[in-house]
């Protein structure tokens, strides 16, 4: 059986599978959250930036009304870039929308501070159309603010997203609290082994996002994934999600479709030969320079990802 949770460096457990909510639209996400929790999902992943946390909160409320207990589930949300110098303010906004007193995990969404007083509350731009970034505030300062909110009890753990080894090496010397999690784009077309290994060596848990390749789930048709799926008599989604569990990572799958939300709960223990097939596929892509990154916001920043493509 595949692991159902992993231990964080705080001692708490993070469920192996979470429901993603990015791009889950109005009228969809409340139902998705409530349904997922009703069938046994234990982790909901959201973010201030997704602009749907009010509805995620309605879904949580409905689930609690149907008997789900707050202490039995794990809720993650994220600090947005225009709030890097106002961490508690952004957290309070998310908590209010979610209808919660605390979240289990609060993540810095991107290590990129953006102008808090720009022409847009979430995506400020300069006259030339480029992102309006703050140059005199560092992500390491943001981390100190994240550490402060940990002390309030409104978050049970803090972590980061989209951190390369380069950025972690900048952050860690300034950190009193080592991030509990690094949430990164991760799938066989972007294995990010360097970051996975580095995080493991520092006790930072990896959560994989966009495991299906994000919108339209393009990873489903990759030959070696289909091959393993056929061999194990499961769906490609099951292989793509189980791949992370085999690597010791938790995984987030987004869907607003009930049948898919349910199907994505099927996780199996992939064996060495399955992983060899999948890893061989990743190696081949890497060698031919064909790794794929599906999520790459136009910040105009070098994140130091070794395998950007």
Ligand X SMILES: NC(=O)c1ccc[n+]([C@@H]2O[C@H](COP(=O)([O-])OP(=O)(O)OC[C@H]3O[C@@H](n4cnc5c(N)ncnc54)[C@H](OP(=O)(O)O)[C@@H]3O)[C@@H](O)[C@H]2O)c1
Please report how close the Cβ of residue 260 comes to ligand X at its closest, in angstroms.
4
Please report how close the Cβ of residue 78 comes to ligand X at its closest, in angstroms.
6
Please report how close the Cβ of residue 152 comes to ligand X at its closest, in angstroms.
23
Judged by CB under 6 A, which of 215, 280, 290, 296 binds ligand X?
A: 215
Tell me which residue of 10, 5, 2, 4 sits closest to 203, measured CA to CA.
10
* Residue 287 main-chain phi, psi, to 5 deg: -60, -35
- Return the exposure string of 260-276: e unless at least 16 CB atoms fall within 10 Å of the residue's CB, then b: bbebbeebbebeeebee
Judged by CB under 6 A, which of 77, 115, 255, 277 binds ligand X?
A: 255
213 binds ligand X (CB under 6 A): yes
Give 172-212 as a DSSP string.
Answer: GGG-SS--SEEEEE-BTTB--HHHHHHHHHHTPEEEEESTT
122 binds ligand X (CB under 6 A): no
216 binds ligand X (CB under 6 A): yes
Give 79-103 as a DSSP string.
Answer: E-GGGTT-HHHHHHHHHHHHT-S-B
16 binds ligand X (CB under 6 A): no
Judged by CB under 6 A, which of 66, 152, 257, 309 binds ligand X?
A: 257
Contacts with ligand X in 274-303 (CB under 6 A)? 295
Q: Which is nearer to ligand X, 40 or 136 (CB)?
A: 40
Site string for ligand X, 172-191 (x = CB under 6 A): -----------x--------
- Could you give the CA distance from residue 29 to residue 19 in angstroms, rounded to a whole number? 10
Binding residues: 109
Task: Give the ranges where the chain is alpha helix by DSSP (H).
Answer: 29-38, 53-65, 87-98, 139-150, 165-171, 193-202, 223-232, 236-246, 258-263, 272-287
Site string for ligand X, 50-89 (x = CB under 6 A): ----------------------------------------
- Catalytic sites, residue numbers: 50
CA angle 141, 145, 151 (to 5 degrees): 145
Contact residues toward ligand X (CB under 6 A) are 20-22, 45, 109, 161-162, 183, 209-217, 237, 252-257, 260, 263-264, 295
């Amino acid at each position: 059986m595949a692991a159902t949770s992993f231990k964080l460096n705080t001692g708490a457990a993070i469920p192996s599978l979470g429901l993603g909510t990015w791009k889950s639209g109005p009228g969809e996400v409340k139902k998705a959250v409530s349904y997922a929790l009703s069938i046994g999902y234990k982790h909901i992943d959201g973010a201030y930036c997704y602009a749907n946390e009010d509805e995620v909160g309605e879904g949580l409320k409905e689930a609690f009304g149907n008997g789900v207990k707050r202490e039995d589930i794990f809720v993650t949300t994220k600090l947005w870039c225009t709030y890097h110098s106002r961490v508690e303010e952004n957290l309070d906004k998310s908590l209010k929308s979610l209808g919660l007193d605390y979240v289990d995990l609060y993540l810095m969404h991107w290590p990129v501070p953006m102008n808090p007083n720009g022409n847009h509350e979430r995506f400020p731009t300069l006259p030339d159309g480029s992102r309006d970034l703050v140059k005199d505030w560092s992500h390491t300062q943001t981390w100190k603010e994240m550490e402060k909110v940990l002390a309030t009890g409104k978050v049970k753990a803090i972590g980061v997203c989209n951190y390369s080894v380069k950025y972690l090496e900048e952050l860690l010397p300034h950190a009193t609290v080592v991030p509990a999690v690094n949430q990164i784009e991760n799938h066989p077309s972007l294995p990010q082994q360097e970051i996975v290994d580095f995080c493991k060596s520092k006790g930072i848990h990896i959560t994989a996002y966009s495991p299906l390749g994000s919108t339209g789930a393009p990873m489903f048709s990759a030959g070696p994934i289909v091959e393993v799926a056929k061999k194990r008599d499961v769906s490609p989604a099951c292989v793509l999600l189980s791949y992370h569990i085999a690597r010791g990572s938790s995984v987030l799958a987004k869907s607003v479709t009930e049948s898919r939300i349910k199907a994505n709960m099927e996780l199996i223990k992939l064996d060495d030969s399955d992983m060899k097939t999948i890893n061989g596929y990743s190696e081949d892509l890497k060698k031919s320079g064909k790794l794929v990154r599906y999520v790459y916001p136009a910040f105009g920043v070098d994140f130091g990802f070794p395998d950007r493509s």
